[in-house]
Amino acid sequence: MQQRPLGRSGLNVSKLCLGTMTWGEQNSEAEAHRQLDMAVAYGINFIDTAEMYPVPPKAETQGLTETYLGSWLAARGKRDDLIIASKVAGPGNGLTYLRDGPELTAAHVHQALDESLQRLQTDYLDLYQIHWPSRSTNFFGRLGYVHQEEESTPLEETLGALQEEIQKGRIRHYGLSNETPWGTMKVLALAEKMGLPAPVSIQNPYNLLNRTYEVGMAEVSHRENCGLLAYSPLAFGVLTGKYLHGQRPEHGRITLYSRFTRYTSDLAEKAAAQYVALAKDSGMTPAQLALAFVTQQAFVTSNIIGATTEEQLEENLKSSEVVLSEEILAEIEAIHKRIPNPCP
Closest residue to ligand NAP, judged by C-beta, is 19
In angstroms, the Cα distances linking 266 to 102, 187, 332 are 35, 37, 19
Active-site pick, 53, 128, 206, 263: 53
Strands 227-231, 300-305: pairing kind: parallel
- What minimum distance in Å lies between the beta carbon of 262 and ligand NAP? 10
User: Nearer Cβ to ligand NAP, position 177 or 221?
Assistant: 177
Q: Is 21 one of the binding residues for ligand NAP (CB under 6 A)?
A: yes
Task: Note whether 264 and 238 are within 8 A (CB).
Answer: yes
Evaluate the omega torsion of the peptide bond into residue 154 and state whether it is cis, within 30 degrees of 0.
no
- What minimum distance in Å lies between the beta carbon of 100 and ligand NAP? 21
Q: Binding to ligand NAP (CB under 6 A): which residues in 120-179?
A: 131, 177-178
Q: Binding to ligand NAP (CB under 6 A): which residues in 50-109?
A: none
**Chain-centre distance of CA 92, in angstroms?**
19
- Residue 275 among the catalytic residues: no
- Which of 234, 276, 279, 294 is close enough to bind ligand NAP by CB under 6 A? 234
Q: How far apart are CA 79 and CA 179, in angstroms?
A: 29
Q: Which stretch binds ligand NAP (CB under 6 A): 17-25, 96-104, 158-166, 194-202?
A: 17-25
- Site map 296..325 versus ligand NAP, x via CB under 6 A: --------xxxxx---x--xx---------
User: Nearer Cβ to ligand NAP, position 48 or 51?
Assistant: 48
Instruction: Provide long-range contacts, Cβ within 8 A and 24+ apart, for 148-152.
Output: 152/91
- What minimum distance in Å lies between the beta carbon of 252 and ligand NAP? 4
- Which of 15, 170, 253, 262 is close enough to bind ligand NAP by CB under 6 A? 253
Q: Residue 241 contacts by C-beta under 8 Å, 6 or more apart in sequence?
A: 272, 273, 276, 286
Beta strand residue intervals within the chain, DSSP E: 3-5, 12-14, 16-19, 46-48, 83-88, 125-130, 171-177, 201-205, 227-231, 300-305
Q: How far apart are CA 267 and CA 340, in angstroms?
A: 10
Q: How many residues bind ligand NAP (CB under 6 A)?
A: 31
- Which of 46, 206, 231, 275 is close enough to bind ligand NAP by CB under 6 A? 231
- The single-letter DSSP state of residue 207 is B
Which residues are designated catalytic? 53
Q: Interface residues with ligand NAP (CB under 6 A)? A: 19-22, 26, 48, 131, 177-178, 203, 231-237, 240, 242, 251-253, 287, 304-308, 312, 315-316
